[in-house]
């Protein structure tokens, strides 16, 4: 869950999001090192009048500043490609949930169960209970068990939407006539919030997503109560 004036990412609750956070830190350190070197060289050029004539005409320095950027790009590209392939992997999901975007709410269907489907609308501000979050609470939450791979099938019935939950590292477009899929795995129980991340009309801001991750026993009890 994000908090006011937060400058970083939300706490990771899935292996994919943990990998993304590590990659972000890795890339940021490279950017800091390059920025520091460039600023140092600029300050050096502005504060000294000395010129090294051999350096200005040397082949060695040209070789270094050609090869070094290539090595840096490889150091960024290899971890990035690894995470991209990990995000596309869907290995033996134990549960499948289909979500459809509408103007302006989400509908969910648990395809492994008969008659287990519902719509999820944002709770108006006037109906919120003490402690509930404005523009983020819904009347029907998605529930799935922790430490279990869950496949999300995502599409739309009208315009472009985007199903995004930052703490799970998930952002998948909902496109009319196209069925996209992604994998969710939560390493701990809790409530995780997201929103539609594609401008989809006048009420785009009022399409929150709430995921409740519980133990397997609690999930079975919830399914029994819903059927």
Q: Give start-end residues of each CATH 1.10.287.90 domain in the chain.
A: 15-88
- Residue 64: predicted pLDDT: 84
Q: Where in the chain is the domain with CATH 2.60.40.420?
A: 95-226
pLDDT band at 142 (very low <50, low <70, confident <90, very high): very high
Q: Give the residue among 7, 218, 222, 210 at the shortest CA–CA distance from 116.
A: 222
Show Cβ contacts of residue 109 under 8 Å, excluding neighbours closer than 6 positions. 97, 98, 99, 100, 116, 117
Say if strands 142-145 and 208-214 run parallel, antiparallel, or are unpaired. Answer: parallel
Q: How far apart are CA 101 and CA 198, in angstroms?
A: 11
Alpha carbon distance 17, 29 (integer Å):
18
pLDDT value, residue 53: 63
Provide mean pLDDT across the span 157-179. Answer: 92
The full DSSP string for 180-215 is EEEEE--SS-EEEEEEE-S--STTGGG-EEEEEEE-
pLDDT at 7: 84
Residue 188 has pLDDT above 70, yes or no: yes
pLDDT number for residue 114: 84
CATH class belonging to 15-88? mainly alpha
pTM recorded for the entire structure: 0.83
**pLDDT tens profile 94-135:** 999 999 999 889 999 999 888 899 999 999 998 898 988 999
Asked whether 102 and 202 are in contact (CB, 8 A), the reply is no
pLDDT tens-digit map of 31-55: 999 999 999 988 888 888 766 666 6
Three-point CA angle 89, 222, 124, nearest 5° = 90
Cα–Cα dist 52/61, whole Å: 12
The whole-number pLDDT of residue 88 equals 85
Residue 152: CB partners within 8 Å, gap ≥ 6?
Answer: 96, 97, 98, 99, 163, 170, 172, 181, 182, 183, 184
The CATH number, out of the four listed (2.60.40.420, 1.10.8.60, 3.40.50.150, 3.40.640.10), of the domain defined by the range 95-226: 2.60.40.420
């Amino acid at each position: 869950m994000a908090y006011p004036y937060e400058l970083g990412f939300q706490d990771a609750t899935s292996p994919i999001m943990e990998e993304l956070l590590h990659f972000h830190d890795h890339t940021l350190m490279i950017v800091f090192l390059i920025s520091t070197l460039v600023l140092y060289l600029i300050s050096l050029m502005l504060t000294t009048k000395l010129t090294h004539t051999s350096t200005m005409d040397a082949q060695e320095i040209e070789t270094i500043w050609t090869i070094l950027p290539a090595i840096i790009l490889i150091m960024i590209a290899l971890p990035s490609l690894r995470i991209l392939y990990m995000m596309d992997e869907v290995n033996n999901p134990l549960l499948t949930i289909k979500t459809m975007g509408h103007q302006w709410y989400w509908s969910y269907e648990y395809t492994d169960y008969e008659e287990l489907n519902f719509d999820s609308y944002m709770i108006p501000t006037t109906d919120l209970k003490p402690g509930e979050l404005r523009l983020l609470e819904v009347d029907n939450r998605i529930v799935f068990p922790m430490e279990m791979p869950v496949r999300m099938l995502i599409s739309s019935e009208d315009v472009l939407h985007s199903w995004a939950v930052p703490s799970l590292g998930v952002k998948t477009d909902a496109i009319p006539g196209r069925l996209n899929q992604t994998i969710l795995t939560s390493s701990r129980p809790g409530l995780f919030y997201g929103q539609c991340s594609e401008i989809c009309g006048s009420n785009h801001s009022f399409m929150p997503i709430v995921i409740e991750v519980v133990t397997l026993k609690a999930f079975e009890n919830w399914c029994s109560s819903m059927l």
